[in-house]
Amino acid sequence: MNTIAVIVIVAILIVGVTIYLVKTNRVADSDGDYIPDVVEDAVEDVKEFADDVKETAKEIKKRAKAVKAELADVMEEARDVTDALKGKVTKSKLRTMTKKELLDHSKNELGEKLDSGLSKTNIINQVYAIHHNK
């Protein structure tokens, strides 16, 4: 209870001193709201700073997402490189094959008969998916 009383008394003293200083023109108050211009300017500066911090935080968040996406791409490429070094099937290896070779490879080695009416790109994607789903 004493703590609350002390806080209230201190607040009343601060308000009283501020009003006295404004009335005696020792502290400027151009709009007459009994809040010194110095305090209003400080509050405005803090608001501007907070807005700048919010904008910076948004930018950092956006960049972090971009970095995460790029890192995922790098990891995927690294896996492809290690797979290629190990002799595993990659899309690059499949692209070097002809459409007939891809269809034969799918039928003979994977046991999947693919439609010959598909484009080479679609066949490559299907063969690659079959290899990586095993």
pLDDT 10s digit of each residue in the chain, 134 long? 799 999 999 999 988 888 888 888 888 888 888 788 888 899 999 999 999 999 999 999 999 999 999 999 899 888 877 766 776 777 888 888 898 888 888 888 888 888 888 898 998 888 888 887 75
Residues 101 and 61 in one domain: no
pLDDT at position 113: 86
| Whether this model's pTM surpasses 0.75 | no
Residues 84 and 111 in one domain: no
Residues 104 and 93 in one domain: yes
Q: Which amino acid is at 3?
A: T
Question: Of 50, 70, 88, which one is at a domain's C-terminal end?
Answer: 88
Instruction: Report helix, strand or coil for 1.
Output: coil
The DSSP result for 19-77, as a single string, is: HHHHHTTSS--TTSSSS-HHHHHHHHHHHHHHHHHHHHHHHHHHHHHHHHHHHHHHHHH
Residues 110 and 79 in one domain: no
pLDDT at position 50: 96
Using an 8 Å Cβ cutoff, are 18 and 29 in contact?
no
Measured between alpha carbons, how far is 73 from 26 in angstroms, rounded to an integer?
64
Q: Which domain holds residue 106?
A: 89-134
pLDDT at position 134: 59
Instruction: Look at phi and psi of residue 106 and say left if phi exceeds 0, alpha if psi is from -120 to 50, else beta.
Output: alpha
Residues 42 and 75 in one domain: yes
Residues 46 and 4 in one domain: no
Residues 72 and 97 in one domain: no
Instruction: Look at phi and psi of residue 34 and say left if phi exceeds 0, alpha if psi is from -120 to 50, else beta.
Output: left
Overall domain count for the chain: 3
Half-sphere exposure of 72 (CA within 13 A, CB side): 6
pLDDT at position 79: 81
